[in-house]
Amino acid sequence: MTGRAVVKGVGHYLPARVVPNSEFEKTLDTTDEWIRSRSGIERRHFAAEGETTSDLATKAAQAALDDAGLRADQIDAIVLATSTADLTFPSAATMVQARLGMTSGYAFDVQAVCAGFVYALSNANALIVSGQAKRILVIGAETFSRIMDWTDRSTCVLFGDGAGALVLEAEESAGTPQDRGILAVDLNSDGRYRDLLYVDGGVSTHTTGYLRMQGNQVFRHAVEKLAQTAETALEKAGLHSADVDWIVPHQANIRIIQGTAKKMGLPMEKVVVTVQDHGNTSAASIPLALSVGKQRGQIQRGDLVVTEAIGGGLAWGAVVLRW
Ligand code: UT7
């Protein structure tokens, strides 16, 4: 028998304000056509003034708890992936813990930028498999609108705000690739690529800073590394691309998503795509897509799901799980 971390619930929250591409035509030398054709993005949500990452995260977490039929006091831990926490400290995770009324257990943030949710899932899985928690809320939540340089057309049209969450629960399984739950993880980073995607400020430089990206360079790495990490994770699980029911990729660019599916030999019919509606929500994009994919009736119990993501660091990775 093997302990597995099995998905018991999923949920998401998007801020009310929807911003179509045409909004950017008013202030920047850009067009709806350029943004759609280069990225696949049509609109994105932006948090209201005063609405923070922990606000979005709390609503997504509550939705996941409701979906699982659980109360917050039945959760042992919260792992929250974000690069845009409300404050330098305490963690956004402990703020969510308090807002949910959870007075025991433990909560912490994970920061791996756009790969954050994959890293958070890996951490949560390790805590469950090692017996340090029975039930964990795994959240991805971001307010990237706060770190946009609104004069930089090459970045500010690409990102959005949002949050998604999963409830994972320990379950004894046969220890085979047919088990439900997280079956394998592959994580990677290479700090030599720091300058390809970063924020030019931070606590120890006394600034907040803005996101800077050499988009075409990140694009090149993404196409090369995403299919590779997904295939490595599948191999670790004793599975192959042909076994996959759904790829749920980080939603940064439809061309990267298509390129990765093609390299894995999978048709787009097996890919959950939300980038047109959410833009790139960094660590929130995968749990948002999982939640929307379930709502649409795409992801069903027993389906083999592969998530993969890459972002600042560079940091990248994949998780294979059976829903
Ligand atoms: O989530 C973390 C990981 N991030 C990503 O995965 C993002 C990866 N990168 C991308 O998605 C794409 O590289 C972009 C969507 C950012 C850009 O697409 P691209 O096909 O790589 O375009 P490019 O950066 O090579 O730029 C092509 C042209 C440039 O003009 P010149 O130098 O050819 O005259 C840009 O200045 O497009 C120009 N451009 C724009 N034009 C209109 C850049 N941004 C805009 C814009 N509107 N918003």
Going from N- to C-terminal start, the domains of the chain cover 2-173, 181-322
Assess contact for 248 and 293: CB atoms under 8 A.
yes
pLDDT for the residue 206: 86
Domain 181-322 in CATH 3.40.47.10? The answer is yes
State the architecture of 2-173 in CATH terms: 3-Layer(aba) Sandwich (3.40)
Q: How far is the CA of 229 from the centre of ligand 1 (A)?
A: 24
pLDDT for the residue 1: 73
| pLDDT tens per residue across span 72-93 | 999 999 999 999 999 999 999 9
Task: Give the pTM.
Answer: 0.97
Q: How far is the CA of 255 from the centre of ligand 1 (A)?
A: 12
d(CA 165, CA 62): 9
Q: Which residue, judged by its Cα, is nearest atom 40 of ligand 1?
A: 154
Out of 21, 123, 253, 280, the active site residue is 280
pLDDT at position 215 over 80 = yes
| pLDDT tens per residue across span 269-295 | 999 999 999 999 999 999 999 999 999
- Here the tokens at position 145 are 């609108």
Share of the chain above pLDDT 70, in %: 100
Once rounded to an integer, what is the mean pLDDT over residues 216-221?
96
Confidence class for position 104, pLDDT limits 50, 70, 90: very high
Same fold, 2-173 and 181-322: yes
216 in ligand 1 pocket by Cβ < 6 Å?
A: yes
pLDDT for the residue 175: 92
Q: How far is the CA of 23 from the centre of ligand 1 (A)?
A: 18
Out of 12, 21, 45, 114, the active site residue is 114
d(CA 32, CA 173): 49
